Amino acid sequence: MSFQTCPTDIFEASAEHIWELLTTPRLYEEWVDARLLNGPERPLVAGDRLILGAGPGHRLKVVFDVLRLVPKEEVVLDVRLPFGVANHEVLRITPLGPRRCRVTYN
């Protein structure tokens, strides 16, 4: 059985700021409960891979493969989680004003 949902949230932040958080690996530790184990020192580009340590002691590996980036609009990832769980994620950023945006992912 499978199902699909598209969680959405509104952020009091510019689309540019959300884009920076999603595409700058060193910033992940500020908003994700995980530690960056391996990733580029620059903003992400298609073809990059991030490896994060999650869970107790950050021992569980989470792998993000960056498939596509549309600047300030969309991030497409394949995500491999512990225990064989895999997700294909599309994150969409929609500006709602100069300091507000909607982020949807599936």
Return per-residue pLDDT of the chain as tens, 106 residues.
666 667 899 999 999 999 999 999 999 999 999 999 999 999 999 999 999 999 999 999 999 999 999 999 999 999 999 999 999 999 999 999 999 999 998 8
Residues pairing with 90 in the sheet = 76
What is the domain partition of the chain in residue ranges?
Answer: 8-105
Q: What does 13-34 look like in DSSP terms, one character per residue? A: S-HHHHHHHHH-GGGHHHHSSE
- Helix extents (H) in the chain: 15-23, 28-31
Strand 86-97, strand 100-105: pairing? antiparallel
Largest CA distance in the chain: 41
* pTM of the model as a whole: 0.88
Return the pLDDT at 19: 97
The residues, any chain, with a CB within 8 Å of residue 20's CB and separated by 6 or more, are 27, 43
8-105 maps to CATH 3.30.530.20: yes
Return the pLDDT at 3: 60
